Homo-oligomer: A and B are copies of this chain.
Amino acid sequence: MVDYPKPNQSVDVVLLTLHQGHLCVLLAPRPSESDLFPGALALPGGYIHTDEDDDLLATAHRVLRGKAGVAVPYMEQLYTFSGKYRDPRGWSTSVAYISVVPALVLEAVHGAGPEAPRLYPVETVPALPFDHNEIVKRAVVRLRGKSTYSSLPTLLLPKMFTMSELRTVYEQTLGLSIPKVTFRRKIEALGIVEPVCGLVQAKGASRPAQFYRRTSEALMEFDQAF
């Protein structure tokens, strides 16, 4: 029986958020002391710290805290990428995680010097090292897919939002337009949001909109498509 060398094993995080009306992904320059692609834009990632991480989910959270300084409420395993050739250093695996957060959480991060992580619209992500472009693509597909049958898109919004904002987010992530009335009825039937008593958003010269909030912090799944 041959003793095979262990492949390198890393964790990469795809953090998705809304920024200026676009779905964006967080990219950070690789550390300048890195042995491969130093300074190049890439997904925040890192190795497992067997002493402090209880599992890969913990690794993902720690990596994101370290590279972007953000603690996120929602993190989900996306896929494990693997192969002989995805990393020039040899056989490797990367367990990718996806996080979906409202824009506000990152306001502090964005625009803090050239070394800081920044947001890039998913439609125009630059060329990334390894198979990171493929990872981003799969993350977006996952978000779009889950949007048809879950409350995942609500995580892109802040604590309170209007029905219009909610509809816009669903339309953006799904890439289709949903009739106003249909959307409202569906959302009300599903019960994924509840009105915040008495609070409304007055925006410009128009009737103010009712504020809503998620009924549950947890992800909710339903089975009919929009």
A residues neighboring B (CB under 8 Å): 2, 4-9, 47-51, 53-57, 77, 79-80, 82-85, 90-91, 93, 95, 148, 223-225
Residue on B nearest A91 in the bound complex, by CB: B50
A223 contact set on B, CB distance < 8 A: 148, 225
Contact of A93 among B56, B79, B90, B148 (CB under 8 A): B56
A187: min CB distance to chain B, Å: 18
Contact A9 B55 (CB under 8 A): no
Q: List 9 A-B contacts (CB under 8 A).
A: A4-B49, A6-B9, A9-B93, A50-B91, A54-B83, A56-B83, A80-B80, A82-B95, A225-B225
Contact A48 B225 (CB under 8 A): no
Which 5 A/B pairs are nearest by Cβ-Cβ distance?
A: A55-B83, A223-B225, A56-B82, A50-B91, A6-B6
Residue on B nearest A56 in the bound complex, by CB: B82
A58: min CB distance to chain B, Å: 9
A8 contact set on B, CB distance < 8 A: 6
Given A6-B6, A148-B223, 8 other A-B contacts at CB below 8 A?
Answer: A2-B49, A4-B48, A6-B9, A9-B93, A54-B85, A56-B93, A57-B82, A80-B95
Residue on B nearest A47 in the bound complex, by CB: B4
Query: How many angstroms from the CA of A56 to the CA of B55 in the assembled complex?
Result: 20
Contact B50 A5 (CB under 8 A): yes
Query: How many angstroms from the CA of A48 to the CA of B91 in the assembled complex?
Result: 10
Residue on B nearest A3 in the bound complex, by CB: B47
A91 contact set on B, CB distance < 8 A: 48, 50
A53 contact set on B, CB distance < 8 A: 84
A131: min CB distance to chain B, Å: 11
A148 contact set on B, CB distance < 8 A: 223
A164: min CB distance to chain B, Å: 24
Contact A4 B51 (CB under 8 A): yes
Contact B6 A84 (CB under 8 A): no
Query: How many angstroms from the CA of A4 to the CA of B51 in the assembled complex?
Result: 8
Most buried by B among A4, A47, A48, A82: A82
